[in-house]
Structure 1
Amino acid sequence: MSYYFTKIVKASYDEAVAKVTAELKVEGFGILTEIDVRETLKKKLNVDFRRYIILGACNPPSAYKALTAENKIGTMLPCNVIVQEISDGQVEVTAIDPLASMQAVENPALKEIASDISNKLKTVIGRV
């Protein structure tokens, strides 16, 4: 089982980030964090890196269900979605598969929640 869903799209980096953010919103996700990996690596290590952002996406109703089912599940939240520039005009969009990451947690209540979120993230990736 792969731990992510991915798709390469023909778009600018900025267009892809905007599209991903909009599609996440359609599926009920908000963005809690944005980590600009390129900027961070430049500041911390003084190295050049491709344009790469990690979006910490959260679906509040599902997060609430998961947190009430398993009080330590916050260690695995939010769902990360990355957008990275591969070349001019080509961007890769990748999301975590919650079903894969939740396998380590032995709580049957989480499987249904993870399945729902997994389907929503697949939809987002499919529509980008």
Structure 2
Amino acid sequence: MLTTIDIKATLAANLGGHVDDYTILGACNPSLAHAALSASPEVGLLLPCNVTVRRGEGRTVVQAVDLGSLLGIAAGDQAELADTAADAGRRLRTALDSLA
């Protein structure tokens, strides 16, 4: 994890507002990030890969975006990124599946 953002604490400190527990984790695999940035520097707009962990309806919800879709937005149709995006997506899915 590169970053951990406690949204609940940040909103309370800056706005006096209240939300349920909500954390954004900035996940990064250095070798995949390097490969993606080497293929297309624009992909840095999407790094690190955000994963959210929040409380909702009495349970913990962990979510991550579809990396293939996001990379398509930032880098257009660059075949060089397809394998990297697929690899990163598999790794995120494996991590999320292990939580179930």
What TM-score results when the alignment is normalised by the length of structure 1? 0.72
Q: What is the number of residues matched between the two proteins?
A: 97
What TM-score results when the alignment is normalised by the length of structure 2? 0.91
* Residue 97 (str. 1) matches residue 58 (str. 2): no
Higher strand share: 1
- Unaligned residue ranges in structure 1 (runs of 5+): 1-30
Structure 2 counterpart of 1:34: 4
- Unaligned residue ranges in structure 2 (runs of 5+): none
RMSD over aligned Cα atoms: 1.0
Q: 1:87: Cα distance to partner?
A: 4.2
* Residue 46 (str. 1) matches residue 9 (str. 2): no
Higher helix share: 2
Q: 1:85: Cα distance to partner?
A: 1.0
Counting aligned pairs with the same residue, the percent is 35
Runs of 4+ in 1 over 2 A off after TM superposition: none
Give the aligned residue type for 1:52.
Y
Structure 1 counterpart of 2:83: 112
